[in-house]
Amino acid sequence: MAADIRVWMLTGDKRETAINIAHSCALCSENTELLTVDKETYDETCSKLIQLVNRSRELVEENREFAMVIDGKSLTHALAGKCREHFGKLALVSRSVVCCRMSPMQKAEVVEIIQSLGNHVVMAVGDGANDVAMIQAANVGVGISGEEGLQAASASDYAIPRFHFLRRLLLVHGALNHDRSGESDFV
């Protein structure tokens, strides 16, 4: 988070599992307030998003940490019509976003939504065939080869053998590449 990198977790897992994983990998702490969207209809989803946008303003004023949690069904509604604006507002001020019960196409759609919300560079990291569309939609795709096969690695810009190599790829090689790009003169 010190590098102003926002981490979103897009998973097919159920909400409880996704939240447990978010806690275990420090996407959120015990002090993080989870703003959860899990509504059945478009109107309910929009209403909940408006409520949570207002709550997020209070939390920002109180300097408290919060994260958004949304399921695939609610996300379908949140990305349509006027709901999309409220979703974007909440997502961009959240410390992290956890999207659960996601289909592969929804993962790609979320990447495209993030890109459309401003001048954001999106890196997608995945390890299976269900992540290929997301990896290809991102500005930078990273595939992890492993238990789920090589589909994600084959579809990516960068392939790594294990997740823990991501830190070096991003924070060392990414930073060096950024510095070199800033110093280059292109003719």
**40's tokens:** 């059945």
In a domain, 40, yes or no: yes
Q: Is the pLDDT of residue 31 over 60?
A: yes
By residue range, what is the domain housing residue 47? 1-118
pLDDT, tens only, 80-135: 888 999 999 999 999 999 999 999 999 999 999 889 888 888 999 999 899 999 99
47 and 93 assigned to the same domain: yes
Query: Residue length, the chain?
Result: 187
2 and 28 assigned to the same domain: yes
126 and 114 assigned to the same domain: no
Q: Which residues, in sequence order, are CB contacts of 160 under 8 Å at separation 6+?
A: 142, 143, 144, 145, 153, 166, 169
108 and 127 assigned to the same domain: no
What is the pLDDT averaged over residues 11-20?
Answer: 96
pLDDT, tens only, 49-85: 999 999 999 999 999 999 999 999 999 999 988 899 9
What confidence category does residue 184 fall into, taking pLDDT thresholds of 50, 70 and 90?
A: very low
Q: Which residues, in sequence order, are CB contacts of 172 under 8 Å at separation 6+?
A: none
Largest CA distance in the chain: 54
pLDDT at 66: 96
Output 45 or 4, whichever has higher pLDDT. 45
69 and 144 assigned to the same domain: no
In a domain, 187, yes or no: no
pLDDT at 167: 83
81 and 16 assigned to the same domain: yes
pLDDT at 1: 44
Output 170 or 7, whichever has higher pLDDT. 7
Instruction: Give the total number of structural domains in the chain.
Output: 2
pLDDT, tens only, 131-181: 999 999 999 999 998 777 788 899 999 999 988 888 888 777 666 666 666
111 and 165 assigned to the same domain: no
Query: What is the DSSP track for 14-42?
Result: -HHHHHHHHHHTTSS-TTPEEEEE--SSH
Query: Which neighbouring-strand residues pair with 97?
Result: 8, 68
